[in-house]
Homo-oligomer: A and B are copies of this chain.
Amino acid sequence: MSAPARTGPDAAASGVETEGPLEDTIRLRVRYTEVDAMGYLHHSRFLQYFEMGRVELLRARGVRYADLERQGVFFVVVRAEVAFRQPARYDEEIDLTTREVRRTHVKIEHEYEVRRAGSVLATGKTTIACVGRDGRPMAIPGSI
């Protein structure tokens, strides 16, 4: 990974050093199959968008999640919360910022912000845990 080593504030606090960017923003266009009968992006979709945000943050750090799974390293969501302020509608382009805010040897916490043209639509927070192919907790590999 060519990105300079960085240490996030909370990562420092938790004593685990991490490399590469701790924040990433992606743009998504709301798909027709993602909206409900009100024409709004279904609220469950935000968790799917957050997942894409984590995958792209990982990619920005030089790691493909698909490769991790092939190596038997999985991440499962153990906790999630979302606050919805305004709806997103079909075909709108929205920006999702994903930020790693805390890390222990087995868990990572992320925070999310979804915006449309600068206006915040939703915020969220998740905790993911590293598990092996058998679903049992394992230490997050150093490469991540």
A37 is contacted by which of B43, B69, B82, B85 (Cβ under 8 Å)?
B69
Known: A35-B36, A65-B91. 12 other contacts (CB 8 A): A33-B42, A33-B44, A37-B38, A37-B90, A42-B48, A43-B47, A43-B76, A44-B47, A80-B80, A80-B84, A81-B82, A87-B135
Interface size bracket, A side: 35 or more
- What is A's interface to B at a CB cutoff of 8 Å? 31-33, 35-40, 42-45, 47-48, 51-52, 55, 64-66, 69, 74, 76-85, 87, 89-91, 135
Q: Is the interface of A mostly helix, strand, loop or mixed?
A: mixed
Q: Which B residues are CB-close (under 8 A) to A66? A: 89-91
